[in-house]
Structure 1
Amino acid sequence: MDAQNSLGIVLVTGGCGRIGSQLVKALLSDPTCSVVHVVSRNPTTNLQANTTYHAVDLCNAEQLAAILEEVKPRVIFHLASPQYLAPDNELWQTNVIGTRVLLKCASECPSVKAFIYTSTDSAIIPAAPGVLQTEETAKLYDEHSKIKMYCKTKAIGDAEVTAANNPPELLTAVLRIPGVYGGGDDKFMVELLENLKKGQHHVQLGEDKLLYEFCYINKAVEALILAAKALLRELNTRPTKNKVNGETFFISDGVSMPFFDFARKVYAFAGHPVAKDEIKVMPLWFMIPLASTLEWAYWVFTLGTKQPELRRWDMEYFTRSVAWKIDKAKKVLGYEPVANQDEILKKCIESCMEHCGMKVSSRIRGTTGKATESEHNIVHHFG
């Protein structure tokens, strides 16, 4: 093993979250990773053995600096972020202030050499319908953008991590990851299967012509680790082209498609195909005002303590799409997407249906066989 290219001691912010916990599992299986530390405000869920957890507020510079001095990580993966519907102040504090504090502390800690940030498709300004963006053409929102606070704050973090690149002291990279599926806590798949239980799988919001990206969570984690190892290699090689430090990368399955095409693929694999003549289209010009009215009513009658299932932001998601090419990640990181998205989906669906207590379609078992735990957990790799 080349010690210069080894991950060594790794610190993960948000390591109790969906992607973060899967990343921790992968790091524990990586022979070049010696120790894993997790920083979280409330480290009580998705805990892994042989991992040290630290209850830390990212905005507390003194506390964070003390942790870095004690741990002396070589690599930092920054995944911490509130959910997209979190209060604006919480989003700003974590995604902007917290990221700035972490970058400053990392730059002042001699042991830290690589800093990898997980961005999102929500940080990217949509291009014209049908256009697949590249890292060179994509534009980020900024603090003046009239957009949901989650999108704005993730975009600011994206830009500031890229700008903080300072080789050879601190090398940074940003991975932009869309909605993920798979893994042990597959909320995305559960939500789609809940539509089946409610008989809502025939419903389509809008015309379903815009393209979106999707990513198998194991592959997202794999890309994160590839980026970290590439940054460490560049401490010695200092490449002038096809470099990773100071760069951004789009990550996905490499299969752009309309959202409800993807959803209906899931329904079909779960044993409930939806024929074209069975699709019930709900126009967005009707659904968005309806969602706004419901949110207002909930705010008035519950004093803001509850939110309706139908929300304006959820509806507006289907008016903006960000689809992209992953050529740069494949060429520079050596990233390879899933070879067959359908086969991975079938295995994930079977696992999720069993977890939800739903009867597994014989169609799934007949095409994929029994899915094993190892097929749903990361052993080497989205983060």
Structure 2
Amino acid sequence: MNDVKAPLLGLVLVTGGCGFLGYALVRQLLDDAEVGQVHIVDRKISHNRHDGAHYHECTVTDRAELERLFQEIRPNAVFHLASPTFAAGTQADQYDTNVEGTKILLEIAADCPSTKAFVHCSSVDVYADAPHVNVDETQKTWVSSPHAPGPYEKSKAIADGMALAANGPRLATASLRGAHMYGPRCSQGLPPLIRLSEGSMPLFQMGPGTNMVDCVSSDNAAAAHILAAKALLDHGRADGEIAGEAFNICDGEPMLFWHHTCLVWNAVRGRDVAGELIRIPEWLARLIFGLVRWVFLIFTAGYVDPPPNMGSTPLSYALEHRTYDSRKARERLGFRPTSDHEEVIRQAVDEALGRQPAK
């Protein structure tokens, strides 16, 4: 008689598992005794790989291939991380992956008899009407607003709502709204900051620098996703309702946004650069961003959007408070973030610089 119990999570599928967060999540899944085989779906599977994981090159909009894969591997839990970065891709790319891809994946997961849990990776950028001060999960999202600042925010908000609405008897779902993420292998916010601080070019700060931001390390975010999946499959792991719920995921230690930025610049330049910053008044920063938007509107008749990094969300992070209440994740999921923020930033910068080609 075989008394060996199957691991709680069993075989898991991670979309976007070769990305920034995906790399951290797959590593933790492979190290978890309550996880069986780990399968990854990504459009490119040549980078950020782990020994012991199974990789499948596929997009989340390829319904036929995903249906074949689900029938073949029969995942017990799905972690849906696949998404273009904030600054990458066109409006069509954002909607194809975040909206259509999420819709396809939810439908296939709900129809797969073995799949019981679906954890959706969302973002605090789905919340409307910044500034945000200790905002909780009841804050309205851009899905209900016609004035979303860009396709990333709008499409992520739609996908977030779809994931929560899909919760039901056949498939338990949860959506994790991560704060500004940092850590090794970051491909979104870190590379531009490194480029700005390489060499001896002056460094600029917008506004007085008093605005606070919540962050989350990739390791903490990955741990939260695993906790959510386990709680969806074993209600005894949770203290309260998990299925059909959204959770803010933060380190829980808000800090000055420009202090966080300076930690990157300090690591690149090897010294404290805070005293070297050239400060741009808030009114001038808003004027510059506004002029860029008007130039694109006038000279392209609205057919071409300004660069994402010149949009209202980056400006909000630079000038306004963006803090979030993560008590729900701590109380219901037992989420206990741990991070040496400055050390993780240093590791992330070292890793990024180490990947650069020799000059």
Q: Give the TM-score range, shorter chain.
A: 0.7 to 0.9
* 2:115 alignment partner, SS class: coil
Between 1:189-198 and 1:119-128, the stretch displaced more is: 189-198
1:288 Cα deviation after fit: 0.5
Please tell me the residue identity of whatever aligns with 1:212.
V
Matches within 5 A, 1:93-132: 93-128=96-131, 131-132=133-134
- Counterpart amino acid of 2:249? I
- Give the RMSD, CA atoms, in angstroms: 3.2
Letter of the 2:45 counterpart: P
Paired position in structure 1 for 2:345: 345
Amino acid at match of 1:331: E
Partner residue in 1 for 2:172 = 171
Q: Does structure 1 residue 78 correspond to structure 2 residue 77?
A: no
Q: Distance in 2 between matches of 1:126 and 1:200?
A: 34
**Residue 246, structure 1, aligned to residue 244, structure 2:** yes
What code does the residue aligned with 1:11 have? L
Structure 1 residue 155, shift from structure 2 partner: 0.5
CA distance in 1, matches of 2:185, 2:242: 30
In structure 2, C-alpha distance between the alignment counterparts of 1:100 and 1:163, rounded to whole Å: 11
User: Quick one: distance in 1 between partners of 2:332 and 2:4?
Assistant: 20
**Residue in structure 2 matched with residue 368 of structure 1 by the alignment:** none
**Offset, 1:221:** 0.7
Give 1:297 shift: 11
Aligned partner of 1:46 among 39, 45, 48: 48
User: In structure 1, what residue type is equivalent to 2:83?
Assistant: S
| Structure 1 position 187, deviation (Å) | 5.2
Query: Which of 245, 262, 265 matches 1:264?
Result: 262
Q: Secondary structure of 1:97's match?
A: helix
For residues 331 and 309 of structure 2, the distance between their equivalents in structure 1, rounded to whole angstroms, comes to 41
Q: Indicate conservation of the 8 Å contact 1:37/1:52, yes or no.
A: yes
When the two structures are aligned, how many residues end up with a matched partner?
A: 349
Q: Is the deviation greater in 192-201 or in 117-126?
A: 192-201
Per the TM alignment, residue 350 of structure 1 is displaced from its structure 2 partner at its CA by 4.7
Aligned identity (percent) is 30
State how far apart, in whole Å, the 2-side matches of 1:134 and 1:14 are.
Answer: 27
Who is 2:323 aligned against? Answer: 323
TM-score (structure 2 length as normaliser): 0.84
- Aligned in 2, Cα 1:350/1:87: closer, same or farther, shift over 3 Å? closer
Shift of 1:323: 1.4
Tell me how far apart the structure 1 counterparts of residues 146 and 344 of structure 2 sit (CA, whole Å): 37
Q: What's the offset of the Cα at 1:128? A: 4.7
Distance in 2 between residues matched to 1:287 and 1:193, nearest whole Å: 22
**2:22 maps to 1:20:** yes
Residue 380 of structure 1 is matched in structure 2 by: none
Per-residue deviation at 1:274? 3.2
Q: SS of 2:48's equivalent?
A: coil
Q: Could you say which residue in structure 2 is the equivalent of 1:284? A: 285
In 2, are the aligned partners of 1:4 and 1:233 still within 8 Å (CA)? no
| Residue identity in the other structure for 1:261 | H
CA contact 1:103–1:161 (8 Å) conserved in 2:
yes
Q: Is the 8 A contact 1:299 1:307 kept in 2?
A: no
Moved more, 336-345 or 224-233: 336-345
The one-letter amino acid of 2:94's match is L
Deviation at 1:185, TM superposition (A): 4.6
Q: Secondary structure at the match of 2:143?
A: coil
Deviation at 1:96, TM superposition (A): 0.9
Residue ranges of structure 1 left out of the alignment (5+ in a row): 359-383
SS of equivalent to 2:66: helix
Q: What CA distance in whole angstroms lies between the structure 2 residues aligned with 1:327 and 1:25? A: 26
* Matches of 2:320 and 2:154, distance apart in 1: 15
List per-residue Cα deviations over 1:38-63 (Å, max 9, x = no partner): 12233333233332222333233333
For the 8 Å contact 1:126–1:321, the answer to whether it is kept is no
Q: CA deviation at 1:71?
A: 0.9
- Deviation by residue 1:193-231 (Cα, 9 ceiling, x = unmatched): 332214456311233343322111111111111111111
Change in Cα spacing, 1:90 to 1:266, as seen in structure 2 (3 Å) is closer
Q: How far does residue 280 in structure 1 lie from its aligned partner after superposition?
A: 2.3
Distance 1:212 1:152 in 2: 21
In the alignment, the residues of structure 1 paired with residue 104 and residue 4 of structure 2 have an alpha-carbon distance, to the nearest angstrom, of 31
Q: TM-score of the superposition, structure 1-length normalised?
A: 0.79
Contact 1:212 1:257 in 2 (8 A): yes
- For 1:176 and 1:309, locate their aligned partners in 2 and report how far apart those are by CA, in whole Å: 20
Q: Does 1:151 align with 2:153?
A: yes
Distance 2:307 2:90 in 1: 16
* Structure 2 equivalent of residue 370 of structure 1: none
Contact (CA 8 Å) 2:7, 2:33: kept in 1 or not? no
Q: Is the 8 A contact 1:208 1:258 kept in 2?
A: yes
In structure 2, C-alpha distance between the alignment counterparts of 1:269 and 1:43, rounded to whole Å:
30
Distance 2:23 2:93 in 1: 21
Where structure 2 has 5 or more consecutive residues not aligned to the other structure, the ranges are none
Q: CA deviation at 1:115?
A: 0.2
8 Å Cα contact 1:201-1:267 kept in structure 2 = no
Match of 2:181, SS state, is: strand
